[in-house]
């Protein structure tokens, strides 16, 4: 994947991310982002696009963490606020707030979903860094694929397929 595949509305906040060299070598590449003070990552190959925050069209009676939908080149894309989905404190949307458009395959069809995050940090190559199993009992654990040490920080790697599972989203909304 190269930076040409990551598009956005014009925003100075995203210029450093969009100009990064995406050609990292080694293990998998991850896009890291912040939720509060916590560092998270998703597999870069699942990232279709990074967009600046725009208020989506609300959906009546949707789960509280579903902010609404957007029309993305003719496709209706649900927008999920990860802070709310993970039970974190409410956050004001700032100029650094972005929406990661992720893709997943479901029954031979490509499915897109937008995830609202506080800010995008970096593209990280796994290289020789060991991936540790996810442990704990927080609301985030069912969505984790592992933990990666990045310098002196710990990055929680999210499982894109679990995050984009519509059945799980609808069940959470009914709970």
Quick one: residue 94, left, alpha or beta (phi over 0 = left, psi -120 to 50 = alpha)?
Answer: beta
pLDDT of residue 115: 96
List of domains in the chain: 3-174 (2.40.50.180)
Which pLDDT tens digit goes with each residue over 56-111?
999 998 888 999 999 999 999 999 999 998 888 877 898 899 999 999 776 777 88
Lookup: tokens for 127: 């290289």
Terminal CA-to-CA distance of the chain, rounded, Å? 38
The answer on pLDDT for 14 being more than 60 is no
| β-bridge partners, 99 | 51, 116
* Phi–psi pair at 44, nearest 5 degrees: -60, -30
**Measured distance CA(54)–CA(98) in Å, rounded:** 9
Distance separating alpha carbons of residues 41 and 128, to the nearest angstrom: 17
Which pLDDT value is given to residue 19? 36
């Amino acid at each position: 994947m190269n930076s040409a595949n990551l598009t956005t509305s014009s925003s100075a906040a995203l210029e450093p991310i969009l100009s990064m060299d995406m050609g990292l070598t080694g293990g998998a590449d991850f896009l890291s982002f912040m939720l509060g003070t916590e560092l998270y990552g998703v597999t870069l190959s699942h990232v279709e696009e990074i967009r600046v925050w725009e208020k989506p069209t609300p959906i009546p009676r949707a789960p509280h963490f579903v902010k609404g939908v957007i029309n993305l080149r003719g496709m209706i894309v649900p927008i999920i606020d990860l802070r709310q989905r993970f039970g974190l404190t409410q956050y004001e949307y700032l100029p650094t707030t972005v929406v990661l458009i992720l893709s997943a395959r479901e029954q031979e069809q490509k499915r897109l979903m937008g995830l609202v995050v506080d800010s995008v940090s970096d593209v990280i190559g796994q290289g020789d860094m060991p991936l540790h199993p996810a442990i704990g009992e927080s609301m985030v654990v069912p969505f984790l694929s592992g933990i990666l040490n990045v310098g002196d920080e710990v990055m929680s790697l999210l499982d894109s397929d679990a995050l984009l599972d519509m059945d799980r989203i609808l069940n959470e909304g009914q709970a």
